[in-house]
Chains A and B, each alone.
Chain A
Amino acid sequence: QQQVKQSPQSLIVQKGGIPIINCAYENTAFDYFPWYQQFPGKGPALLIAIRPDVSEKKEGRFTISFNKSAKQFSLHIMDSQPGDSATYFCAAFSGGYQKVTFGTGTKLQVIP
C-alpha cells in the first residue's frame, strides 16, 4: 500500500523556471518530511526537510511548502539550473524510523 503519492513522474522545465513536485500522504502520524536528490549512479542526498509545525521552509533555491490539513507537501526549485537535473524523492517518517515511506520519484530535466 503506497502511503506517499508523488507527482509528476517526470518534469521538463527551461532554465530559470520553477519546477514544483508534489507529495500527498495518508498517515497523520508522519512527523518528518524530507526531500532527496539523486543523480544517476549516485545515492540519494538529503536536500531539505520539514516538520509539520511549520508551513514553509527555504534553503537556498529550494523551498518546501507544507499543508497539514490537506496532508500535502511540495518542493519548489527557484531559478532552476541544468545542474538540478536529477531524480527527486519525497519521504515521510513517523516515530523516527518506525515507519518510513518514500515517494516513487520525479525525474526532473532542466533544459538550457
Chain B
Amino acid sequence: DSGVTQTPKHLITATGQRVTLRCSPRSGDLSVYWYQQSLDQGLQFLIQYYNGEERAKGNILERFSAQQFPDLHSELNLSSLELGDSALYFCASSVPSGRKETQYFGPGTRLLVL
C-alpha cells in the first residue's frame, strides 16, 4: 500500500459527460501528479500540483482540469468525455528528497466511457 488513495476505483459513464476523480496524497506529501495510462498511448504525465499551485503541465487536454485543495487532496475533472478518454488514471504524490524525488502511485481509477 503506497499510502495514496484514489476514488472511485471504477467509473463507467457516457460520452459527453463530466466526471471528477479524487486523490488523497500520502501524509506530508506536498506534490500531487496525475497520469493517464491507456493501451495505445502508454503512461502519460498530465499535470503536477505543489502545495496548491500548478507546477508543471504535461499532455493534458483542455477538456481536463485539476486542482489541489488546502488540505492537499486533488481532483481531476474530465469533461465532454470521449470514447478515447477511457483509461486508467493514476495519482501520485511525493516530497522532494535531496537529488531524488520519489513518487508514490495510488491504485488508480479505471474510467470507461461508453
Which chain A residues have a beta carbon within 8 Å of chain B's beta carbons? Answer: 32, 41-46, 49, 51, 89, 91, 96-98, 100, 102-105
* Complex Cα–Cα for A49 and B102 (A): 9
A102 touches B58 (CB 8 A): no
Q: A97-B33, A97-B45 are in contact. Are A42 and B107 (CB under 8 A)?
A: yes
Known contacts A96-B101, A97-B58; 14 further A-B pairs (Cβ under 8 A): A43-B2, A43-B4, A43-B106, A46-B102, A46-B104, A49-B100, A51-B99, A97-B45, A97-B56, A98-B56, A100-B45, A102-B43, A103-B42, A105-B42
Give 1 or 0 for each of B33-58: 1 = CB within 8 Å of chain A CB: 10000000011110010000001101
B56 touches A102 (CB 8 A): no
A97 touches B55 (CB 8 A): yes
Residues of chain A within 8 A of B92, CB atoms compared: 43
Residues of chain B within 8 A of A96, CB atoms compared: 55-56, 101
For B55, give the chain A residue with the smallest CB separation.
A97
Which chain B residues have a beta carbon within 8 Å of chain A's beta carbons? Answer: 2, 4, 33, 42-45, 48, 55-56, 58, 90, 92, 99-108
Q: A43-B2, A96-B56 are in contact. Are A102 and B90 (CB under 8 A)?
A: no
From A43, A100, A103, name the one whose CB has the most chain B CB atoms within 10 angstroms. A43
A44 touches B48 (CB 8 A): no
A44 touches B99 (CB 8 A): no
* Complex Cα–Cα for A95 and B105 (A): 21
* Complex Cα–Cα for A85 and B108 (A): 20
Q: A51-B99, A97-B48, A102-B42 are in contact. Are A45 and B55 (CB under 8 A)?
A: no
Report the minimal beta-carbon distance from A92 to chain B, rounded to whole angstroms. Answer: 11
Report the minimal beta-carbon distance from B24 to chain A, rounded to whole angstroms. Answer: 14
Q: A97-B58, A98-B56 are in contact. Are A43 and B42 (CB under 8 A)?
A: no
* Complex Cα–Cα for A102 and B107 (A): 18
Report the minimal beta-carbon distance from B53 to chain A, rounded to whole angstroms. Answer: 13
* Complex Cα–Cα for A49 and B58 (A): 21
B107 touches A100 (CB 8 A): no
